[in-house]
Amino acid sequence: MAQPVKLIQKKGAVRKDGTSIIFIQYCYSGDERILLNSGIAIPPNFWNKKTARISDKLPDLYGDVQTLQSQLTRQMRKAEDIITYALRKKNISPLKFLKDNFHLSSQWQPEQMANTQINLCIYYQIDQ
């Protein structure tokens, strides 16, 4: 099931180094949405808004285009998987669940995130 998840870049939010962060946006409803930082920043003129892709003309200084694009695709799929899981549970807010679990691990697994409470015991965390 396709979720309303897309990649966006805010052109007005250019940092001092001339780059702007690419965000993953999830729209739950008309007025409920969330932006997740992808960790990838490029100059705004190398972002194609219509196709939501990085331009092939991106200088090597910012990274390999194929690698960056595959990272974005992987992160979008991860966000979609987390949202789908939250929507199936019905008693979980998809926005809060996505925000809480998106950056926890590189490989999202539903059985690890089924309990949204995080055990803060230092010995438990070391064992994990």
Running along the chain, 128 residues long, what does each successive block of 10 average in pLDDT?
78 83 87 87 88 88 88 89 86 85 64 55 71
Q: What integer pLDDT is reported at residue 7 of this predicted model?
A: 92
Q: What integer pLDDT is reported at residue 83 of this predicted model?
A: 87
- Write down the H helix ranges in the chain: 65-89, 94-101, 110-113, 122-127
Alpha-carbon distances, residue 95 vs 27, 63, 65, 111 (angstroms): 9, 31, 30, 19
Calpha distance 63→72 (Å, rounded): 13
Q: What integer pLDDT is reported at residue 117 of this predicted model?
A: 58
Count the residues in the chain.
128
Assign 5 to helix, strand or coil.
strand
Calpha distance 124→44 (Å, rounded): 43
Q: What integer pLDDT is reported at residue 114 of this predicted model?
A: 47
Q: What integer pLDDT is reported at residue 105 of this predicted model?
A: 57
